[in-house]
Structure 1
Amino acid sequence: MIARRLYDLLEPICLVTYFEDECNEELAALGHRTYWDGYFASRAGALGRVPAEVVHAAFYSFADGEAARHIPSAWETIPPEASVAARERGSAASLRRILGDELAGSPGLERAADLTTKAAFGAPTAGRVMYAGMRTLPVPGDPVARLWHSATVLREHRGDGHVAALVGAGVGGTEAHILSALDLGIYPAESFGRVHHLPKARLAAVMAGLRERGLVDADGRLTDAGRETKRRVEVLTDELAAPPYRALSPAELDELIAGLEPITARLVAASR
């Protein structure tokens, strides 16, 4: 499916925000005290000064109370728009460093940025809270920044669809992390980095609920029903992520894939 292929190509562009130093350094320079202060402030900043309850609903996968530890306090002295701008600056700087001058300044990257932007603004916003929020932000003129920005717009579009798929399947946010961890071969699932910090009683309750529904077995491993639930969620996520790419012709899709492949290959190689 084209949405899955583009996800695989665009995701490494988005991930520099979270795994490279420049974005964290930009956010720390603003005055954010911790990684998570900067994360919540800069990602949720596209929504404006909304309450923690709204951020929690939009982000979905975080445990109860996690958003409230950072929102709105992270915005009390640092305006949301400043955090949003810092995230963009840092992410673009990471891309330029990793890609190098030749690839970052190439016509192929600029064309990929143009086509990614066309796709990113080619779908309806109805029912897509984070996608709609990202679309209100200015589109950068610089091709590297524009590529990151538009890839991130598409990531939020896909994320909104993923949340809808999870809700439809009756899978909660923490449950989704557990199923993903097991699907990746992480065992015990409670050791997964996105949930290991949660209270043991909370994790035990989540695991008990998954057992009662037959999604994990007595040893805490995926059952056939659990694997099928995960598969259905991913298939629906791909289907819901497809609309933006309908804005591109078949020739443009081929051109975008060809343009992104060397960019993604460089980013993946640098992350190893």
Structure 2
Amino acid sequence: MNYRLIGQAMRRLQIYAAMVYFSPEYDEELMAAGLEPGVMCYFGGRAAAMGAVPASVIHAAFYNFNPERVRENIPKAWTLASPEKLLEARLMAADRALKRLLGSEVLGSPQVAEAAGLARRAAMSAATEGRPLAASHQELDWPDSPHLVLWQGLAILREHRGDGHIAALINAELGGLQSMVSHAATGSGFLPSFAQSHRGWSGEQWNNAAEELRVRGVLDADGALTEQGTALRAGLEEDTDRLAAGPWRVLGDAGAQQLAEIGGELSTALVAAGCLPAEDVFFPAKR
């Protein structure tokens, strides 16, 4: 099975799972459940599958957030709403956002039902040793509607891939902030300004991490990736793709291709419908 093609497929498919965190419905539902606006909703909704864990556990699992940003919101979030209530709110947000962006006719199609079955099968086959977010999401009850089964299945696969990516970063001896600075230098994903502010890092901390990467030979004097840095980031993506391939093998080539095609079309439609923020959050190629 081609690891690179799996990686390309997952980068498209994860839009279907991740779009909820950018939707207005997400903050609406989690604030209605009791949380405060802002990053507390992100931490509370995404980490709720692990239960009312302390800030140190969330920081370990989320990796590239400033631990102070986590401690500002956790464990306070668990005093405002139970993890169970937050999981219900997150699923409601996903349901509302998907219906607004894609419509009930698309979501009720046989293709979505087929993709849902494939995603669930792959997600439940995923080995979760050393993957806390994937393991906790795998234990959740499944919704009834196919479009939400697809959402949950892709969410598990996304967390499985993310846990593996963290393992690759640790193996490469890149800390959370260094990983963000070096990834920003690739010109993909989050813009540095958003990554820095949303993850809670100061300008001084960001610049210090960049200097550490320059000393290591990953960045040049202008903050661009060196040849060594380019190879490092490429190797990280290759390792991540390889570590994420396991759940796809159970589908076989035909099933994997079918999930990639149906899910990819849905993700493309979501982007066209405006599921990603309009403000300067991503590099242009991502929008």
TM-score by length of 1: 0.94
The aligned counterpart of 2:178 is: 175
Whole-Å separation in 2 of the counterparts to 1:119 and 1:268: 24
1:64 paired with 2:72, answer no
Aligned sequence identity (%):
37
Partner of residue 34 from structure 1, selected from 18, 34, 37: 37
How far apart are residue 185 of structure 1 and its match?
Answer: 6.5
Once residues 14 and 82 of structure 2 are traced to their aligned partners in structure 1, the CA distance between those partners, rounded to angstroms, is 27
1:251 to 236, 249, 254: 254
CA deviations on 1:180-220 (whole Å, 9 max, x unpaired) are 11101699x7x431114522332222112111101111222
Whole-Å Cα distance in 1 between the matches of residues 194 and 149 of structure 2? 30
* RMSD of aligned Cα (Å): 1.8
Partner of 1:216: 219
1:58/1:236 Cα in 2 relative to 1: closer, same or farther (>3 Å)? same
Offset, 1:85: 1.3
Aligned with 1:192: secondary structure?
helix
What is the identity, as a one-letter code, of the residue corresponding to 1:68?
R
Q: Secondary structure of 1:195's partner? A: helix
Q: Deviations over 1:43-70 (max 9, x none)?
A: 1111111111111111111123221111
Runs of 4+ with >6 A deviation? none
- For 1:194, the aligned partner's letter is A
Preserved contact between residue 96 and residue 144 of structure 1 (Cα < 8 Å) = no
Q: TM-score, normalised by structure 2?
A: 0.89
What SS does the corresponding residue of 2:80 show, helix, strand or coil?
coil
Per-residue deviation, 1:249: 2.1
What secondary structure sits across from 1:141 in the alignment? coil
Count of residues in Structure 1 that have an aligned counterpart in Structure 2:
270
Asked if 1:116 corresponds to 2:119, the answer is yes
2:51 to 28, 48, 59: 48
Question: 3-state SS of the aligned residue for 1:76?
Answer: helix
Q: Unaligned 5+ residue runs, structure 1?
A: none
The answer to whether residue 111 in structure 2 is matched with residue 102 in structure 1 is no
Is 1:127 paired with 2:130? Answer: yes
| Higher RCO (C-alpha 8 Å, min separation 6) | 2
Instruction: Give the whole-Å Cα distance in 2 for the aligned partners of 1:245 and 1:49.
Output: 31
2:164 is the counterpart of 1:161 = yes
Alignment partner of 1:220: what SS?
coil
Q: Kindly tell me: are residues 40 and 185 of structure 1, through their superposed partners in 2, closer, same or farther at Cα, counting changes over 3 Å? A: closer
3-state SS of paired residue (1:125): coil
Structure 1 CA distance for aligned equivalents of residues 168 and 19 of structure 2: 26
Q: Gaps spanning 5+ residues in structure 2: where?
A: 275-286
Are residue 9 (structure 1) and residue 3 (structure 2) matched?
no
